[in-house]
Amino acid sequence: MISDETLMAYADGEADAESRSQVEAAMREDPKIAARVEQHRALHELMRGAGSSVLDEPVPERLIAAARGRTLNAGVVDLSRAKGGRAARNAAARWRGWQPAAMAASLLLGLGVGYLGWHGSGALIRTGSGGGLVAAAGLADTLSSQLSDDRSPARVATTGVSFRAKTGEYCRTFTLAGADASSGLACHEGNGWKIKVLVQSAPEGSGTNFRTAASELSPAIRAAIDGAIEGEPLDHAGEVAARQAGWAPPH
């Protein structure tokens, strides 16, 4: 007796020579077996086209850019090169230059193409002494004081998730609305918040809630969180404790 899985494998062209000749002999003797093999073949043929309408859709630019080692869609700022003017650098050449040891850090910085059109949200984000971006004024205050479940209408920024990074410091995601619409990841270093990834939101027009959620969850930020996080994000009590300690790394 030949198992149905053997018939299936035969129909899929996966049978070895021995089982192939067994199946073929059985098919000659028993039309039911031949019919069953034919069913397996027909189903394979039918399923071959399943979901193929997506093949005819234009591939989003951001995916093509990602495959070529660039991330250009949302204007992810690569903070290792956040000084103006170096934006147009060839991204492919840049990633080729990465050393393996630097890769984790590069992911944390976002796979950005540069300082794309970041029109400087003036007071909230500025260039720090080291050349990177830092949170300033209202954004710095928000990151230091506002808990993630705060949804008061007067807030300067929405804080999303807080966590300890593998490197020890506390990091938080934030979202700015309005003219500065953007999302980012900031980590507390020294006395301030260094911005590790900054993603500008899509231009106006889309619904605000959805846009907020979409940009907060942008792949670059997600990848940065997943690459940097140690353990679980902080819960409410964890945030309160970290805030109380001034976001200084625990010992």
Partner 1 sequence: MSTNESVENIQEQIVALLPRLRRFARNLVRNPHDADDVVQIAVERALLRLDQWRSDARLDSWLFKILRNAWIDEVRARGRRAKIFMPEEAGEQVGEALMEREIDRLSTEAALARLPEDQRLAVGLVLVEGLSYKDAADVLEVPIGTLTSRLARGREALQGMLRLPQGDPS
The residue count for binding partner 1 (CB under 8 A) is 63
Q: Applying CB under 8 A, does 241 fall inside the site for partner 1?
A: no
Q: Two tokens at 151?
A: 């949804």
The DSSP result for 23-46, as a single string, is HHHHHHH-HHHHHHHHHHHHHHHH
Of 18-26, 112-120, 136-144, 204-212, which segment contacts partner 1 by CB under 8 A? 204-212
Which position among 77, 128, 216, 224 is part of the footprint of partner 1 (CB under 8 A)?
216
Contact (CB, 8 A) for 165 and 230? yes
Which position among 25, 29, 35, 230 is part of the footprint of partner 1 (CB under 8 A)?
35
Residues 6+ apart with CB under 8 A from 218: 74, 76, 183, 199
Residues 6+ apart with CB under 8 A from 228: 108, 163, 165, 166, 167, 171, 185, 187, 196
For partner 1, which is the closer residue by CB, 107 or 137?
Answer: 107
- In the complex, the smallest distance separating the C-beta of residue 187 from partner 1, rounded to whole angstroms, is 17
Closest CA to 203 of 176, 185, 178, 174: 178
Q: Applying CB under 8 A, does 214 fall inside the site for partner 1?
A: yes
Cα–Cα distance for residue pair 171/194, rounded to 1 Å: 9
Q: Which residues bind partner 1 (CB under 8 A)?
A: 4-5, 8-9, 12, 14, 32, 35-36, 39-40, 42-44, 46-52, 54-55, 57, 59-60, 62-64, 66-69, 71, 92, 95-96, 100, 103, 107, 111, 148-149, 158, 160-161, 207, 209-210, 212-214, 216-217, 219, 222-223, 225-226, 232-233, 235-236
